[in-house]
Copies of this chain bind each other. A is one copy, B any other.
């Protein structure tokens, strides 16, 4: 609801909470810090902000949970990440770099550009028939 527009940094933290919960079932401060290569106090501060925004909850000294809204936002960011990563891989970028660059791009691209990238990716998935896969049809309507 509140579209308070997260900073890039907070988007990263929120996304990481989500990813760790998917991967490990729990998002711990230590693991978030390690994954984002920051120190634990940075995570603590970020969590305070995300709590203020109503995106996460946390009982002191335990794992971080997502609120419903937090889940929704995190999933959106993660989807962007996945879209961009596969896009880059399709361009021939190696997986590690695709992951890293997707991680930066996911915070800055406009909805329009994301939409076009989606268009670009979709046909290939939907029509694996066309072997040559020349895409980017400048669609007329």
Task: Give me the interface of A with B, judged by CB distance under 8 Å.
Answer: 88, 90-94, 97-98, 100-101, 104-105, 108-110, 112-113, 116-117, 119-120, 132-139
Find the B residue at minimum CB distance from A88. Answer: B113
Q: Determine which of B105, B117, B132 lies in contact with A91 in the assembled complex, contact meaning CB atoms within 8 Å.
A: B117
A93 touches B116 (CB 8 A): yes
A106 to chain B minimum Cβ distance, whole angstroms, is 11
A89 to chain B minimum Cβ distance, whole angstroms, is 10
A57 to B70, CA, bound (A): 48
Q: A88-B116, A101-B113 are in contact. List 11 more A-B contacts (CB 8 A).
A: A91-B116, A91-B120, A92-B119, A93-B110, A93-B116, A97-B112, A97-B113, A98-B113, A100-B110, A101-B110, A136-B136
